[in-house]
Structure 1
């Protein structure tokens, strides 16, 4: 990567989502394969995931996110540390983190919760 080239940005507008995603006021996203009665789709071949799987450069995360792995696995690099999400594992990603998706298993089912940076949940809600 050229020294003056920036990281790809990962924010609410760049997160891949489909008809199963729930979006609230463009500030909160709940996305993922929550319906276990249907066969899971192969995320490694999903067109919406290709920009995340084929880019040689990492993303700079601009919003808080929670990833919950329901099935399969996902191998990622987060802040230069390689890790693997497996069934029933949870990962919290803070804004400013640098991440890259390295591999997704064919049977992977991930749930993503993402908040816009300016969305604040108070005790009064």
Structure 2
């Protein structure tokens, strides 16, 4: 499937919900939170509102001040609690599953690197590598308080009428915030040095990368085992040991995630979705989908 034909509904910067606390700088930066919003309003539950998978086209950092928020990101579930930060990179497939009525979230979305300046290549690569594999990180209360101070300073500058240097001021605050993020990564990695990554964990990670790249065309264990120069039996055992799930379940989940997005896109019939995902016929696709989701593709599409 070509990238330009991606079925996932894209979540653009301008689509972040307006809670009454939303600030925009041109088309490049959004600051939004639900701080102080009454828990009996729809704005809290709809803070990030979607009931289907979406693909982000920008970088989004979520800071949890209190309460809990549950999300699914690239098929993995994460629960944000107090002093947690979730960084979602462009191209990620996400879904907001639940947000507590007592939860306060601050979101900073940026569609460009211009606002944080030209960072060192090594630092930028470290940032991407870390948050690709570890999007959720816990920080100290002190670090969260500093982050919120920077956030409120940015808001103050954007709200200041006739201030001629909004770009420069906001860029400076974002640079400090991004360098703090590099420090969080450094601290996390230093604490993790004692944990030696074993061969099985690496195989599991490599397997998921392959599945993410090929699930639309390949659903057989022999294909993935061949790519990793292993026997299907051994690879299946490793995946089960590491994740407590069968390898075929992981493949199925990627296929179903894509199928759901295709069905909800409004661009394809059930038959076409089955064809796009390389099912031999609509009947086989229907049985595969119903076994995983509990309803037929058509019922899901119209529901």
Q: How does the TM-score come out when normalised to structure 2?
A: 0.34
In the alignment of these two chains, the number of paired residues is 116
Paired position in structure 1 for 2:111: 116
Distance change >3 Å, CA 44–CA 63, structure 1 → 2 = farther
Per residue, is there more strand in 1 or in 2?
1
CA distance in structure 2 between the partners assigned to 1:102 and 1:108 by the alignment: 14
Tell whether the 8 Å contact from 2:17 to 2:47 is kept in structure 1 after alignment: no
Q: Which residue of the other structure, out of 53, 74, 78, is the alignment partner of 1:79?
A: 74
SS at match of 1:92: strand
SS at match of 2:117: coil
CA distance in structure 2 between the partners assigned to 1:78 and 1:25 by the alignment: 27
- Offset from partner CA, 1:25-67 (integer Å, 9 cap, x none): 1210111034xxx4x43388338818824x2x21101100100
Paired position in structure 1 for 2:135: none
In the TM superposition, 1:1-125 aligns within 5 A as: 6-34=7-35, 38=36, 40-42=37-39, 45-46=42-43, 49=46, 52-53=49-50, 55=51, 57-117=52-112, 119-122=114-117
Per residue, is there more helix in 1 or in 2?
2
Tell whether the 8 Å contact from 1:44 to 1:105 is kept in structure 2 after alignment: no
User: Which protein has the larger Cα radius of gyration, Structure 1 or Structure 2?
Assistant: 2
Cα RMSD (Å)? 2.8
Tell whether the 8 Å contact from 1:17 to 1:48 is kept in structure 2 after alignment: no
Deviation at 1:95, TM superposition (A): 0.2
SS at match of 1:42: coil
Tell whether the 8 Å contact from 2:19 to 2:43 is kept in structure 1 after alignment: no
Tell whether the 8 Å contact from 1:44 to 1:50 is kept in structure 2 after alignment: no
SS at match of 2:49: helix
CA distance in structure 1 between the partners assigned to 2:64 and 2:44 by the alignment: 20
Give the structure, 1 or 2, with the largest relative contact order (CA under 8 Å, sep 6 or more): 1
Tell whether the 8 Å contact from 1:71 to 1:88 is kept in structure 2 after alignment: yes
Structure 1 gaps of 5+ residues are none
Tell whether the 8 Å contact from 1:44 to 1:104 is kept in structure 2 after alignment: no
Tell whether the 8 Å contact from 1:43 to 1:49 is kept in structure 2 after alignment: no
Distance change >3 Å, CA 43–CA 63, structure 1 → 2 = farther
Tell whether the 8 Å contact from 1:68 to 1:89 is kept in structure 2 after alignment: yes
